Structure 1
């Protein structure tokens, strides 16, 4: 079950908080920590207090004036939440969307990253941290969690302590620390679809002052979509991860932790399959039905839940990520000095079928990338009479090099060139046409920050914070296009063949485009604690998501790259929040509620005109968006036998002002309107299309108005195989209402609401044995993760179907 501190279900009475065990209570004190004895730990457990580090110090979660969801290792294991995608099913306002590991978005309250293709030149808006190290790319979210102790999801802007790109919140992942007591755990799961997962960790002392921990995780699963062209299943899982940590108690006042991890994902993935045809305003002979009829082609099924495809290009999603970090914690008397030094890398080696059909239109599409990042953070946490504080400095450097290739095939001419042009019948015009892209980014960021908690009285605390940040980004985008014979395609002029070639793949280049800016984030929280079990708070935050560069290319007019569109302005965020955290019935029940109102000016939105294939999408700034709503989290444990929880959120969201937005597909592809022939009806072939659309007042993508997660677990004492323990039955589920899956809401890409329910039945003992059977998506709900329009504005809508019903058995043992 879920420890939502802001909604905790499980582990409320007999479970120790996930990062505080009796063994850990006996370990040496880390500088800056308060030593707990075992009795204190048991009392904390019984009162359902969860320890978090959301404000860069240990605190009980109910005392922190931030809406936080906390999930411990037991909850991760029981619910099968081994990555962020699964974690999102437990938390109503955490959203995860992915068409492949690179093109993934992690959003909180619908904010964070634009839904669609990733652009290296901008940053995400939800900070992901593992053991206090910032991860600049969200691809890590698709990999398995490695030996995790707990995960804190902080909702709302966290710019003061967590940095510039946390306008929507932060995910703070804490790994299990090396232990001076010998301990270990192992877990094995098997299920349908050839699912296999193994996790193991071991920890213990290497000497009086040195402890080590090693962890490993591996997951594999057969694909959920059958490719009739190749005779095998695709969209599979194939993950492996390793992590090691060494803790050296250098002195009584200084601890050093050296950590290293490596994760690799290498599935045959990721196919987006035929969902439906949605008529556009393009000429009828250039839309999907006429184009496929010209080839005598039909998809293997027009029902996406038959889970069939015939994609003929290579599919690959090799995703490798890892790094090394050194954390030093030094008790210097007046406070604790922390240094976190880290290097991380990300290698991405993909292959895609960008025509989304079994026809040889695009035969190669890949954008392999290598990214290295270096980070250094210094923090000093101190306290005085009636106040405490954190001050620090942070530096970040990132080097990205992407080398992309797109190649057209023998069907491209007929598919992409207007049939009224005789060249459409000549396959050699576009066959072999290749764009080779070289994309580079050097990204530096530096910041100074501070946070103060001033206890005005015993009940009232004021917490101001500030962060001053500098960004320096320099990027280049070069796309060289050659025809099938290897001849360069010019950016302007040329023969009729070359005109059609650059309509399909546009050569362009801009180098050393720079974005440099200073920005300031600040916030103020006032909290009032009238009693031990009630906390009231209000927050105002002004923060930003840094500007950046369009590194997927920019529009080209008359052969000239529109480099004025290469830069993207920063998002400017004003956020208001009020909340209450309460516990009652002798702390057997927890009820937390939050109201929030977020306004973003210059919102970074994905733009793609849909007219042709020359651009993979670029970014532009919408005038203003607004997201507001209310979240409520409730959990109760009336006895040691039963616990229940329900978390819900209502979110109202809209583009307040976006007058120059890209039009949805049903209003795209037609000729330019005139006074005599104005904009035509949506989805009517040949009708005139507006140049841009005013989508002010429309939904933002990816956000449901209503979202819930809920569950319960009941146990009874039992003795099985001579072992004393308990038999338990658990259920967890999540529901969400309809949401848009397109940057400009379309009648073709709304995804209907759905409910996913999961069950488990098992037996566990106090000695660490846990055996349970599980079924996920128990009612085999048919749903989509993502729907998308495809290049060329042909009316083809593709999508990612959600997982079908899965079931299996898990055996775990810890000591």
Structure 2
């Protein structure tokens, strides 16, 4: 990452050598068997719905990536986190101390704080239904047709909280004939995955589908105090749909999905000794942990449960003329229980647990028009959402730290209990439209815009408690307020694209987007009075130039360059506070503020090359330069001292695909993949310990397909060299607590996967 404006040296140093060396990219990772069928013909057409209408990927004048269910098998993609290496500019991983809460960044824009009231910066959609909260959004690939990744602000069509981009999960459509598919996987750490899906007609014009999945695995580590599993997986999901097709022009689809996550608390490595432990034990503190997953957590509560469900009613109509209509009515609700032993040791120094709940009701009306020279969609979107909960903080401190005259007394002489609770209500409405007009046979002009109005109301009560059951208030209140704020925004988009020839499209575009403002549920208005004030929405304005080209029947290259102005950047920062008035920080709270403004610019490259029916090369590469223009801290602009989080300067993936015919026995397909991620700061405090140096991962897959293609057997391995790398972590030293922890990606794992199509 760089804080200067010099684009050319960084580009020459890191991008050009990779391009010369044949670095590939691929938003649509094609399976080897697909290449075997394409070697002597034009590249396969990929259909996406990025502009709310179905069209060829190569004809969409914006940066879009898409993976089909077939393609995800060979890439080893099992949930949204696995997409990280398969799309340019994408960062996806489980949020800190969780297993199914998603943290997503695209082109350096996102949000890592999953607390209610804090909005994500990347929109996640399930069949056009927006998921307002990140809990349970790290979706498993259950009965999926494809996943689309839209890069850059998507304000005009997708609205609020898509300033980084959007991830669309598209379920498999219900077939007109009975189809049954089964999948089982056994692997390391006693992995046991089972998926089943059936799609069948019920009557002449009534169809139904059902998909269920069970995903289990033993822990990567254990709690050395209790022997309990750490970082295991126990996730169960299901989706049912029924569809009525009264005529060729009408469809009515009712779908319901559920996710239950009962995985154990993820393990976090203790990265510095905690000297406070000595006041509890009279002995030296535990050393830095020698394992990335094993823990010594003494907090009795190890809850990490997530329940999510949703119901959607979609009514579609295709008119005889140029018009079509779609209505999407959806309701979703969820509950998330979490416990974090921040200190990672046996004593109650910093133990936190809580419960969050949310529900949302949304309604979207879309009108589509397709004419000889004009195509477009426009509509109305409404959202009524609420989210709330309570977080219970337990801080145990020795008297030596809170009463300097009593240093000789050992033991937890003071326990501080605090509860942060509240609720946020959101009412949002938007009018939107996006049109594409053919100026000539080769040139089109696109115009889009979305007018948003949003209102948030917050109720916050943060107070100290006298008992560990949090039933008796002490009367000391750190925040007690109600707040209400409204925002309006207009997000325009304009683009011009030109078809140079039948196989090459060039385009230029300008787009804007905004991410909702809000209120800090963790506010401490006694020590930090401004924490009661609402923080402002984020806004991004992005310029993009791109090309999509099928250079030959075997070579496809897509590339994009962009420049984004990023304003009112929202940051979550842990701040130490003195609750006893003795001059020492004895607690901390999560402050949430608008830091300032920045610039993110970059280049993305994608290609796939199939020189023969036996070999193909694919992958992706992204170079990003992100820097702050303004970062106000204590009234001073410290932009030169700051770095963007979750924004590696260089990432790339190289996939080598091989196909081996086995005569009458069938076919053997193989993939060897390497993906690299540059240095990155995962947290806003720019911790020198949590900081992750650049690293690379090797993955491989081997797939056997018999002649009938009714079943397939796949052997896959991930992180083959057992690379140790941190996704995220906590560093609370700036808050007065000697606590630093790191959360790591998966170790080396393998699985044997069987797919049956009946």
TM-score, normalised to structure 1's length?
0.84
In 2, are the aligned partners of 1:147 and 1:175 still within 8 Å (CA)? yes
Q: Identify the residue that residue 68 of structure 1 maps to in structure 2.
A: 64
Are 2:572 and 1:551 aligned? no
CA contact (8 A) 1:96 1:105 kept: yes
CA distance in 2, matches of 1:157, 1:640: 38
Kept in 2, the 8 Å contact 1:540–1:577? The answer is yes
Per the alignment, do residues 434 and 458 of structure 1 end up closer, same or farther by CA in structure 2, a change over 3 Å counting?
same
- Match status 1:386 vs 2:373: yes
Report the equivalent of 1:317: 304
CA deviation string 1:334-353 (max 9, x = no partner) = 31100000000111112221
**Any idea what the Cα deviations from partners look like across 1:421-477, whole Å, max 9, x if unmatched?**
43894867533x432333111111000000110100111111010100010110111
Q: Is the 8 A contact 2:569 2:596 kept in 1?
A: yes
Structure 2 Cα separation of the partners of residues 604 and 397 of structure 1 = 23
Per the alignment, residue 747 of structure 2 pairs with: 804
Aligned to 2:14: none
Please show how residues 296-311 of structure 1 align to structure 2 within 5 Å: 296=282, 302-305=288-291, 307-311=293-297
| Match 1:594 to one of 537, 543, 560 | 560
1:176 aligned onto 2:172 = yes
2:722 maps to which residue? 780
Asked if 1 retains the 8 angstrom alpha-carbon contact of 2:32 and 2:615, the reply is no
Name the counterpart of 1:573: 540
Q: Residue 249 of structure 2 corresponds to which residue in structure 1? A: 253
Farther-moved stretch of structure 1 (98-107 vs 51-60)? 98-107
Q: Deviations over 1:251-283 (max 9, x none)?
A: 232111111011100011133221236xxxxxx
Residue 360 of structure 1 deviates from its aligned partner by 2.4
**Which residue pairs with 1:738 in the alignment?**
679
Aligned pair partner of 2:200 in 181, 198, 204 = 204
User: For 1:535, which of 505, 511, 518 is the aligned residue?
Assistant: 505
Which residue is equivalent to 1:502?
none
For the structure 1 residues 715 and 487, does the alpha-carbon distance in structure 2 shift closer, same or farther, using more than 3 Å as the test? closer
Determine the C-alpha separation between the residues in 2 that align with 1:305 and 1:245.
44
Counterpart of 1:660? 633
In 2, the alpha carbon distance for the partners of 1:466 and 1:420 equals: 61
SS at match of 1:704: coil
Tell me the equivalent position of 1:285: none
Task: Note the 1:232-311 alignment, pairs <5 A.
Answer: 232-276=228-272, 288-289=274-275, 292=278, 295-296=281-282, 302-305=288-291, 307-311=293-297
Alpha-carbon distance in 2 for matches of 1:84, 1:810: 19
Aligned to 2:662: 718
Match for residue 376 of structure 1 among 363, 384, 388? 363
User: CA offsets, 1:306-339, max 9 Å, x none?
Assistant: 6321101121210111111011111233311000
Structure 2: tracts of 5 or more residues without a match = 1-23, 578-584
Q: Structure 1 residues 746-755 or 704-713, which shifts more?
A: 746-755
Kept after mapping to 1: 8 A contact 2:29/2:75: no
Counterpart of 2:105? 107
- Matched residues in 2 for 1:613 and 1:356: separation? 18
Runs of 4+ more than 6 Å apart: 42-45
Residue 639 of structure 1 pairs with residue 605 of structure 2: no
8 Å CA contact 2:515–2:537 kept in 1: the answer is: yes
Residue in structure 1 matched with residue 439 of structure 2 by the alignment: 456
Q: Which residue of 2 aligns with 1:434?
A: 417
What SS does the aligned partner of 2:648 have?
coil
Matched, 1:400 2:373: no
Q: State how far apart, in whole Å, the 2-side matches of 1:292 and 1:347 are.
A: 38
The separation in 2 between residues aligned to 1:619 and 1:727, in whole angstroms, is: 53
SS across alignment from 1:552:
coil
Tell me the equivalent position of 1:420.
404
The answer for the alignment partner of 1:10 in structure 2 is 31
- 1:207-243 deviation line (CA, Å, top 9, x unaligned): 1111111111111111112211011321111101010
Could you tell me which residue of structure 1 aligns to residue 338 of structure 2? 350
RMSD: 2.6
| Pair 1:292–1:790, CA change in 2 (3 A) | farther
Whether 1:58 aligns to 2:54 is: yes
Partner of 1:489: 474
Residue in structure 2 matched with residue 22 of structure 1 by the alignment: none
The answer as to whether partners of 1:646 and 1:711 remain within 8 angstroms in 2 is yes
Shift of 1:294: 6.5
- By how many angstroms is 1:389 displaced? 1.4
Rounded Cα–Cα distance in structure 2 between residues aligned with 1:513 and 1:160: 29
Q: 2:222 aligns with which of 221, 226, 230?
A: 226
CA positional deviation for 1:93:
1.3
CA distance in 2, matches of 1:47, 1:484: 67
Q: Which residue of 1 aligns with 2:571?
A: 605
Q: Which structure 2 residues correspond to residues 79-158 of structure 1 after superposition, within 5 A?
A: 79-97=75-93, 98-99=95-96, 100-101=98-99, 104-113=102-111, 115=112, 117-158=113-154
Give unpaired runs (5+ residues) of structure 1: 17-41, 278-287, 492-506, 662-690
Q: Secondary structure at the match of 2:600?
A: strand
Match of 1:479 among 441, 449, 462: 462
Matches of 1:416 and 1:242, distance apart in 2: 53
What secondary structure is seen at the aligned counterpart in 1 of 2:347?
coil
CA contact (8 A) 1:243 1:262 kept: yes
Question: 3-state SS of the aligned residue for 2:81?
Answer: helix
In structure 2, C-alpha distance between the alignment counterparts of 1:87 and 1:424, rounded to whole Å: 54
Conserved? CA contact 1:622–1:657, under 8 Å: yes
Query: Contact 2:116/2:388 (CA < 8 Å) preserved in 1?
Result: no
Query: Does the aligned pair in 2 maintain the 1:131–1:172 contact within 8 Å?
Result: yes
Counterpart of 1:198 in 2: which secondary structure?
strand
CA contact (8 A) 1:554 1:566 kept: no
The 5 Å alignment of 1:181-200 reads 181-200=177-196
CA shift, 1:406, in A, is 2.5
Per the alignment, in what secondary structure is the counterpart of residue 272 of structure 2? Answer: strand
Shift of 1:528: 0.7
CA deviation after TM superposition for structure 1 residue 198, in Å:
0.9
- Pick closer, same or farther for the CA change 1:66–1:398 going to 2, 3 Å: same
| Deviation digits for residues 15-35 of structure 1 (CA, Å, limit 9, x no counterpart) | 99xxxxxxxxxxxxxxxxxxx
When residues 60 and 423 of structure 1 are mapped into structure 2, their CA distance, relative to the original with a 3 A threshold, is same
* 8 Å Cα contact 1:219/1:237 also seen in 2: yes
Relative to the length of structure 2, the TM-score reads: 0.90
State the Cα distance separating 1:102 from its structure 2 match: 7.5
Q: Which has the higher contact order (CA 8 A, sep 6+)?
A: 2
CA contact (8 A) 1:247 1:258 kept: yes
> Distance between the aligned counterparts of 2:730 and 2:412, measured in 1?
30
Distance of aligned partners of 1:142 and 1:331 in 2 relative to their CA distance in 1, 3 Å threshold: closer
Distance 1:402 1:518 in 2: 27
